[in-house]
Structure 1
Amino acid sequence: MRSLSLARRLAAHAVGKPPVSPTGRRAAPAARDPQAVRDTLELAARLGESMLSLGASASDVFGTVRDVCRSFDVRCEIDLTFTSILIADDSTGTSVLRVVHDQATDYGRLALVVDLTRSIIGAPSLRGLSFEDWSAAARERLVASHATLDRIVASPHSYRRMLVTLSLSLMAAGVGVLLGGGLLVALVAGVTTLLIDGALRLLTRWQLPPFFLQIVGAALATGVAVLLLTTIPGLPVEFAQLPPSLVVASNIVVLLAGMSLVGAADDAINGFPITASGKLFQVVLLTLGIVVGIGGVLDVARRAGVSLTLIDLPPNPWPVWVLALTSVAISGAWATASYARPRAALVAALAGGGTYLAFVLLTRLGLGVAMASAGAALVLGFVGDSLARRLRVPALVTTVCGIVPLLPGLTIYRGMLDLVSEDGGDTGLGMLLQAGMIGLGLAAGVTLGEVLAQRLRGLKPRHPLRRVRNVTPSDPVPAPDEMVLTLPDELEPAVDGGTDLEGTAAPERTGIPAATSRSTDGGPTEAADGEPARG
């Protein structure tokens, strides 16, 4: 009998705990004003749509939409894809769908949106209020939030378009130096970028699709290289002083910087496979446009008797400190071209220089290019997320702009040139595979660095499929007259920094958790009802 009792106790200990986030739950009875609930869902969807269109990642948008709904104590399910956001409240049978029609990076306005979301999320929770008190408090907060968001989305860019063009030109010149070119290469690369940007601006007004814009940009860059190859023999310039391949590669980096390869890998790592697939397909299509542009010009050049061949370049002649300063200029220029405000652009510039120094250190320790890139990106993600609140600069700006000097522009160009050449083969595919591994390493490093920084600060990582603790019903509930939402009265440059995207959820990470389930994206959906989630 004693052995039987012992066996029963052991069997009882072997039984697992019930799931903290059961599937197929019934909808809770409606206890909120349906119109106020709809306005809440609309506000969350508008914020998510704005962030997606301005350059935020899917995981940051998901967290923001979830936390905004929580702040109003509204239970919702969220389905987020590359171009749409669907939010539904089962208790009232209300759903709101927003479609992202245009995506144009603007870190200045994105910082304003993030600042607004932080104000909403940081306001006292409406949990536990009566029907009348909740409706009154929610409507007052919603009116102020919608009005502020209206002003943000209608605000102008931080800089004029000419300054953006000059920033892109400076960026191309810096990449030319970073790849080992001299001042002449930097000058020609910068002027070529001015030509390309002017042509693309004109074609954009004609509403030409981005695929054809990439073809035109790559064709112009390669055309300049062919022109240099044919005219250098008649100029008082040696070929080694102005290698055409560096001119092309510099402008390719400018074209690649606007792509979302790193963002696609980041979304895939964070549990948004369909969104990542959409971004990845877009990257492949735009990269194919670059291949077509280069291949078309090369074919015309061969028919004209000109051959653009790839030669082995000598080692980079510049000292490390010069290349670090060049990386500072590249990252700062890209941040400015993405409409980041001055303080954010300065921080991004310093991050670019520090990231390049970390990359050089890791390569000298014997790591390969892909591993060194991932290690430098990890340092960037950790430092950027750790200092985002103190510096009041979005971590997204720091990380995205800081990795630009490490983008594999020359590797991609060499691989594409080998593919479009007559004897192209496995070498080009190997180079393109190496470039893809570098991009994946950059994304993985940045994501891991941010997660480590959040864990060391005692915060939960932004990954939506995570385990969170429950909240007891005894949590204090503020009175309705204490619920004051602090929002910016006007769009001043002082709100530039806002807060880091991960930091917007800081007020809730130690408070109201939520239940998580799987969405049609293959990524997560969220039930923002304060129940625990299974990670």
Structure 2
Amino acid sequence: MSSERQWRFLTSVRKAISSDPSRVALTEVHPVLSATIVSKILDLALHLGASMFAVGASAHDVTFAITRVAQVYGLKGVQVDVTFTSITVSYHRGEDDAPTTLLRVVHASSPDHAKLQRLQALLADISDGMDLGEARSTFRAIRRMPFLYRPVVVIFARALLTVGVAILFDATPALIALAFIAALSAAFAQAGLARLQVPSFFGQIAGAFVITVFATIVSALGSAGIPPFDDVRPSIMVAAGIVLMLSGLSVVAAAQDAIDGFALTAGGRILDLIMQTVGVVLGILIGLGLAQLLGFGMALPDDAVPFGSLPAQIAGAIIIAVAVALFNGAGLPIIVVSAVLSVIAILGYGSAILLGVQEGAASAFGALLASFLGILIARGLHVPSVAVTTAAIVPLVPGLTVFRGLLGLADSDGTPEAMLISIAPLVLAASIGVGLAAGASLGLYLGTPLRATLAGVAKSRARVRH
């Protein structure tokens, strides 16, 4: 081998192993955009991301939306910082120019999946080349959209959720009716406090207290042998109320933010989740304590109450998913998908239980199936899969297990043995909650690459046709 060939060979080997810093260009190509245009682009991207975050999107989805809008209109290297209460966007052209930085405080808001769907559709239109001026005017129209349903519809949808929970346990018609009335009273109480701008923590306490008092009265009437209360299990009423109180919490979004590396946002969501759950616990304990002071009580179930027959499980899961989708402001397509995914989740959970799997792991399996299929279906609806996954896994929320633990704590004599026996259901409920969050998050991450592959195949076929 000649010396020239040896030199070329050694050069090729060196390039394959390492890079030469002297050959790397230190300059960057920046689009020629005026400061006014840059501000308009960043303003649109920031407001779009903030609106998505306020109505239920995860921090990852918000960050992607902001950077995507900026890239489409020529801004590369945009820095985005999402926290639980604010979003910051910054763009720096180069060393000689001052950076353009915008900050927007995100006010807490209820999920609005119809608006979220419209925002995702706008993001898709922007990616397809929508003009900046048209995109800004379209966003302003979407931002002014009112909530899809009237407040009274939301209240009755929340009460409808407890009907689904009661059916899930094969409850009698009398119990279903009583659960609906109790939940309706709690929903009206919470809506009234919300109109007075009382923090939601106290709303959770009030709702749980109303349902617990209602269930205690039903238990007292049943103990007196007064029909139809003598054939009613009040513990299921409270369990349905717990599911109602916890159904609006962003468990999946919190887990997704934590896994995505948005620690501050995840921490804020988790703290909010803990506070809302503590509110439910306090409301129940206050209700039980008041009942004991007045000489009333509620019998502690000897064993965990299992789900009812398979048709009852399917019917209950569908009703719960539809109710959750309704009070989250979802349109008909999302409602239908949520109902289908809820059936898949409950069937996956039931299959795992039949195989002898522990309840927490079985719940994780059911949530994984629902979220995996949900992320594939949600792409066509232009809505984050969290919107359909959340409604699908609510039927698996361990409301009855939580109540058994709280009732045991209220009735315990304070000895260590009694406390340990009472805490055991709460530990099981915690494991089920962790399983739901982990299963739903894992399903999202397993489904994301497959969704991207399917999207690439669809685009390739579209190019071939044209």
TM bracket (short chain): 0.7 to 0.9
The letter for the 2-side match of 1:301 is A
- 1:437 deviation in Å? 2.5
The aligned length equals 437
* 1:443 positional shift: 2.3
- In structure 2, do the counterparts of structure 1 residues 420 and 452 end up closer, same or farther at CA, with 3 Å as the change threshold? same
Match of residue 214, structure 2, among 215, 218, 224: 224
- TM norm structure 1: 0.75
The CA deviation at 1:296 is 1.4
Counterpart of 2:119 in structure 1 is: 113
**Contact 1:180–1:316 (CA under 8 A) maintained in structure 2:** no
Q: 1:74 to 1:304 in 2, by over 3 A?
A: same
Matching of residues 394-409 of structure 1 within 5 Å: 394-409=384-399
2:154 aligned counterpart, secondary structure: helix
Match of 1:454 among 418, 443, 448: 448
The range that moved more, 288-297 or 209-218, is 288-297
Q: Is the 8 A contact 1:344 1:394 kept in 2?
A: no
Task: Answer 1 or 2: which has greater helix percent.
Answer: 2
Residue 434 (1) aligns with residue 424 (2): no
What is the CA-CA distance between 1:345 and the residue it aligns to?
0.7
1:83-115 per-residue CA deviation (whole Å, 9 max, x = no partner) reads 111000122510111111132111111111111
Q: Which amino acid aligns with 2:67?
A: R
1:18 and 1:275 map into 2 onto residues whose CA distance is 40
Q: 1:245 to 1:456 in 2, by over 3 A?
A: same
Is the aligned partner of 1:88 residue 2:90? yes
Q: Displacement, 1:370?
A: 1.1
Equivalent residue, structure 2, for 1:71: 72
For residue 280 of structure 1, what is the aligned residue in structure 2?
Answer: 270
Match for 2:296: what amino acid? V
Aligned to 1:474: none
Identity of aligned residues (%): 32
CA deviation string 1:391-440 (max 9, x = no partner): 66652322111111111211222233334444362344443333233222
Deviation at 1:308, TM superposition (A): 2.8
Amino acid in structure 1 at the alignment position of 2:64: G
- Whether 1:363 and 2:353 are equivalent positions in the alignment is yes
Instruction: State how far apart, in whole Å, the 2-side matches of 1:314 and 1:400 are.
Output: 25
Q: 1:13 to 1:453 in 2, by over 3 A?
A: same
Q: Is the 8 A contact 2:166 2:240 kept in 1?
A: yes
Q: Is the 8 A contact 1:52 1:103 kept in 2?
A: no
Maintained 8 Å contact 2:236/2:400: yes
Alpha-carbon contact 2:122-2:139 (below 8 Å) kept: yes
Whichever residue aligns with residue 428 of structure 2, its letter is Q
Is the 1:269–1:444 contact (alpha carbons within 8 Å) kept by the matching residues of 2? no
Read off the aligned partner of 1:440 and give its amino acid letter. Answer: V
Q: Secondary structure at the match of 1:425?
A: helix
1:197 matched to 2:203: no
Gaps of 5+ in 2: 1-5, 460-466
Instruction: Indicate the larger mover: 174-183 or 26-35.
Output: 26-35
Contact 2:169–2:307, Cα closer than 8 Å, also in 1: no
* 1:57 alignment partner in structure 2: 58
Structure 1 counterpart of 2:110, from 104, 120, 124 = 104
Partner of 1:171: 161
Alignment match, 1:158:
148
Q: Which letter maps to 1:119?
A: D
Which residue of the partner structure matches residue 484 of structure 1?
none
Distance 1:437 1:406 in 2: 12
Deviation at 1:240, TM superposition (A): 7.0
Q: Which moved more, 1:260-269 or 1:231-240?
A: 231-240
Distance in 1, Cα, partners of 2:337 & 2:142: 23
RMSD after superposition: 3.0
SS at match of 1:70: helix
Return the TM-score normalized by structure 2: 0.86
Q: Residues 442 and 216 from structure 1, CA distance in 2 versus in 1: closer, same or farther, beyond 3 angstroms? A: same
Which blocks of at least 5 consecutive residues in structure 1 are unaligned?
125-140, 461-502, 508-535
Residues 343 and 393 in structure 1, CA contact (< 8 A), matched pair in contact too: no
Counterpart residue number, 1:521: none
Q: CA deviation at 1:17?
A: 7.4
Alignment partners' CA distance in 2, 1:267 and 1:14? 38
Give CA-to-partner distance per residue, 1:289-320, whole Å, 9 cap, x none: 11211121222222212223422257547321
Letter in 2 for 1:51: M
Tell me the distance in 2 between the aligned counterparts of 1:408 and 1:358: 16
Cα deviation 1:14-55 (Å, max 9, x = unaligned): 967799xx9xx9987684211111111111110111111111
After superposition, the Cα gap between the structure-2 partners of 1:69 and 1:416, relative to the gap in structure 1 and judged at 3 Å, is farther
Change (3 A) 1:394 1:200: same
Alpha-carbon distance between aligned partners in 2 of 1:174 and 1:323, rounded to the nearest angstrom: 9
Greater Cα shift, 415-424 or 277-286: 415-424
Query: Hey, what's the Cα distance between the residues in 2 that align with 1:220 and 1:70?
Result: 51
1:198-255 CA distance string (max 9 Å, x none):
1111111111011110110111011011111222233443777311111111011011
Hey, what does 2:462 align to over in structure 1?
A: none
CA contact (8 A) 1:344 1:398 kept: yes
